[in-house]
Structure 1
Amino acid sequence: MKKRHQHFIPRTYLKHFKNSPDSEHVNTFNKIDHKFIDNIGLNDICVEKDFYTLKNLDGEDKLALEEFFDKEIESKYSKVFNLLVNQRPSKITLEQKIDILKTTLSMYFRTPKILNQFLLKIDKLIEDLTNNNDINEIEFKGIIIKLSGKKKDEIKKEIREHLRIDYLSIQLNIFEEFVKYKLYDGITVIENTSEFDFYTGDNPVNFLNRFGNTDQIFDINNSIYIPLNPKFCLLIAAPKLPKSGYEIFYQKDNQMLIHVVNSCTFDNSERWIIGQGEDFKVALLKNIELNSTYDLEHPMLKSLEIKTILLANLLQAIEKGGLTNKNDNLLLALNNIKNWDEHKNHHDLVELLETMRVEDGLHI
């Protein structure tokens, strides 16, 4: 029988942030206590007792959900990681695309963060009800729960269990629909060329659009960033260029993108930020420093603003006139990128220009 000590972020994912190849530990930052804690064992992070256990069922059926994630998701992650980071194919099969989406996106739907936020509101409601001496019982989802003779914690526990099972069922259904929704999105693996590592957390799937972090997951404008290890990050986004849904793109990027992804990871986490060795602490402290000193005129922000405008103009030119040397607006947009004095500091822009010059035959 499966253990009741269950990971909601898979151990197969977390191990890529280990302190060393021979270690079974990671370094962490506790957002609640604002403390660094070194060398937490992989078996002791991002776990909850009986999180997937379906207590309304009998026998082995209680652990059917844990078995599903183990067989269909976690057992495939190492293969997916190796494909993305080590093998680096330019094209993949439909089966590989589904495995990539399922193993990575599932971590958003498995996190207890949303459930815990909702349960806090339920706890407040129970406090109010139990303080009312005129109420002896409540009906919750068709079930009568007696209040008399019970402590508040007993009542909360009873209601929380019903909510948890419903939450897991709903999240699993949404997850299956979301994978289908993202099936034709583009996939890019980003290599970190900055001096600061990627780190991860207990809610590592970051949804980001032009307005910042978002919880509106079914939005075509979203980009999804998922740290894979300290040096690589996965980007899933609706394709802006006319490319196949079964291609994988690779790019290198510098400090600005790494800072954005790390900021999202920090903001989205509920409690734990997780990273590798002393480099993790350096990256996190640098991220906190940058966020605390940002203003609209900060050079990094101004650079990001210019880069965003240049890329937006490029995409608009492609959409209107296509990838051809007869498209004057496209050639102008490309040369504006080339002539920007900071473009050589952005590996992704350098690679983009070279790809469009060599593969697409554009006059840059």
Structure 2
Amino acid sequence: MTQNLVKRQHYVPRTYLKNFASKQVGDEYFVKALSIEDARPENIFDINIKNVCLERNLYTLPGETAEEKMLLEKFYSDEIEQHYNSIYALLTDPSKTTITHEERELIISTVVTTFYRTTKWINQHNDLLKRVYTQMFSLCQQAGKDYFLFEGIKVSIKDKTPEELLAEYKVENRPGQVITQLEVALKLIEARIKSDNIFVSKLADDDCEFITSDNPVVLQNIKGGHITPFDPSNIMKLPLDKKHMLFLMPDADEEARKLIVRHNVTGLFCRTEKLISNAEQFQKADRFILGDEQSLMGYLQTKDLAERPLSEEEIKNMTSFDDYIKKGKELGLF
């Protein structure tokens, strides 16, 4: 069968996004979205999941045929996305406590590829390059030169603006960037399969809900140190829907790797887990946080309070864990 060219390519799969939908109309799913640049209640808007977390030709590769151009897009579709519904059902089924090696490998592969395939990596690199190109362009003009050397490569600026140079770079280097992202993901998958166990947390209280974002996988360093993305000792967290959170926990023994460890959280622990996760989603998002009306509004109600720095006097008066909990209650965070 001839492969069709797909131009609108999702870097956060629709199979994932639909579980945060605020409504469904036939086969169409809609989520509420909010830009992190102006995060106010009046700016929450409704959007079809077809139209969010995508970019034109993001994974399109050079090639003569549609099959060659769609190789990477097809890999993500066939190897990851088509399995997501069954993985999601497995992870959110409270009666499911054991998993096969194949199921565990699919879960880990899904989380790791979701982490590495988003555009935030490319955007951060391009933002850095924009600053470099702008500075080098200015230095060339001051020196009367029409080129500069960047990583040993001669870059001509003749009859070009910095913006045109960056646009050329994006087009020429994007295939290499997305292939490198996948190569790194595959290496990390191999490392994490050797150690991770699967942990699912559920928010049991009705007024506690998770949000997600256009960069939904969050890393935590188990030792509290600097986070290196490729480090297999990081905890990897992915909200599955407004009630469930998936954790990949490192350093599990062989027997633990066959299990799904489950925990329902209530009360203070429920509110704390929601608060931490939603703040992480906002901080790590590239452009948007996503969810339903209640979950986004719930986050906004605590956002300013959670981000307010404590005064020196408040910090001085908090000498125990109970003091921190008391302060959180006073601020309305718990």
TM bucket normalised to smaller: 0.7 to 0.9
Structure 1 counterpart of 2:70, one-letter code? L
1: CA distance, partners of 2:17 / 2:131: 34
Map 1:181-330 → 2, pairs under 5 A: 181-183=191-193, 184-194=195-205, 195-209=207-221, 215-219=227-231, 221-239=233-251, 243-253=255-265, 254-292=270-308, 302=321
* Identity level (%): 24
Contact 1:193 1:255 in 2 (8 A): no
2: CA distance, partners of 1:99 / 1:293: 41
Counterpart for residue 31 of structure 2: 26
Pair 273,245 (structure 1): closer, same or farther in 2 beyond 3 Å: same
- SS at 1:245's partner residue? helix
Map 1:91-106 → 2, pairs under 5 A: 91-106=98-113
2: CA distance, partners of 1:57 / 1:213: 43
Moved over 3 A (4+): 137-146, 210-215, 218-221, 239-243, 293-299, 303-306
Contact 2:211 2:295 in 1 (8 A): no
Counterpart for residue 121 of structure 1: 128
- SS at 1:249's partner residue? strand
Pair 243,257 (structure 1): closer, same or farther in 2 beyond 3 Å: farther
* TM-score of the pair, normalised by structure 2: 0.81
Pair 266,18 (structure 1): closer, same or farther in 2 beyond 3 Å: same
Structure 2 counterpart of 1:257, one-letter code? E
Moved more, 195-204 or 117-126: 117-126
Deviation track 1:4-32 (CA, whole Å, cap 9, x = no partner) reads: 11111111100100002446211112012
2: CA distance, partners of 1:201 / 1:71: 23
Contact 1:213 1:264 in 2 (8 A): no
Aligned length: 304
Pair 269,215 (structure 1): closer, same or farther in 2 beyond 3 Å: farther
Structure 1 counterpart of 2:183, one-letter code? N
2: CA distance, partners of 1:246 / 1:257: 25
Counterpart for residue 161 of structure 1: 171
Structure 1 counterpart of 2:63, one-letter code? L
Choose the corresponding residue for 1:152, options 162, 166, 190: 162
Pair 187,27 (structure 1): closer, same or farther in 2 beyond 3 Å: same
2: CA distance, partners of 1:286 / 1:270: 21
Map 1:121-140 → 2, pairs under 5 A: 121-131=128-138, 132-133=140-141, 134-138=144-148
Deviation track 1:306-332 (CA, whole Å, cap 9, x = no partner) reads: 9xxxxxxxxxxxxxxxxxxxxxxxxxx
2: CA distance, partners of 1:129 / 1:17: 44
Pair 167,29 (structure 1): closer, same or farther in 2 beyond 3 Å: same
Counterpart for residue 343 of structure 1: none
Q: Which has the larger radius of gyration?
A: 1
- SS at 2:93's partner residue? helix
Counterpart for residue 8 of structure 1: 11
Pair 104,5 (structure 1): closer, same or farther in 2 beyond 3 Å: same
Contact 2:233 2:251 in 1 (8 A): no
Contact 1:207 1:213 in 2 (8 A): no
Deviation track 1:168-199 (CA, whole Å, cap 9, x = no partner) reads: 12211110111111113111111112322100
Contact 1:109 1:172 in 2 (8 A): yes
Deviation track 1:224-277 (CA, whole Å, cap 9, x = no partner) reads: 211000010101112467742121111012111221221211111111100112
Deviation (angstroms), 1:289:
2.6
Deviation track 1:65-88 (CA, whole Å, cap 9, x = no partner) reads: 111111111111111001111364
Deviation track 1:48-107 (CA, whole Å, cap 9, x = no partner) reads: 1111112x3332112211111111111111110011113642111111111111122211
1:58 aligns with 2:74: no
Deviation (angstroms), 1:210:
5.2
2: CA distance, partners of 1:79 / 1:96: 9
Moved more, 71-80 or 26-35: 26-35
CA RMSD in angstroms comes to: 2.8
Deviation track 1:199-240 (CA, whole Å, cap 9, x = no partner) reads: 000111111135669541344542221100001010111246
Structure 2 unaligned regions, length at least 5: 326-334
* Greater length-normalized contact order (CA 8 Å, ≥ 6 residues apart): 2
2: CA distance, partners of 1:111 / 1:223: 18
* TM-score of the pair, normalised by structure 1: 0.75
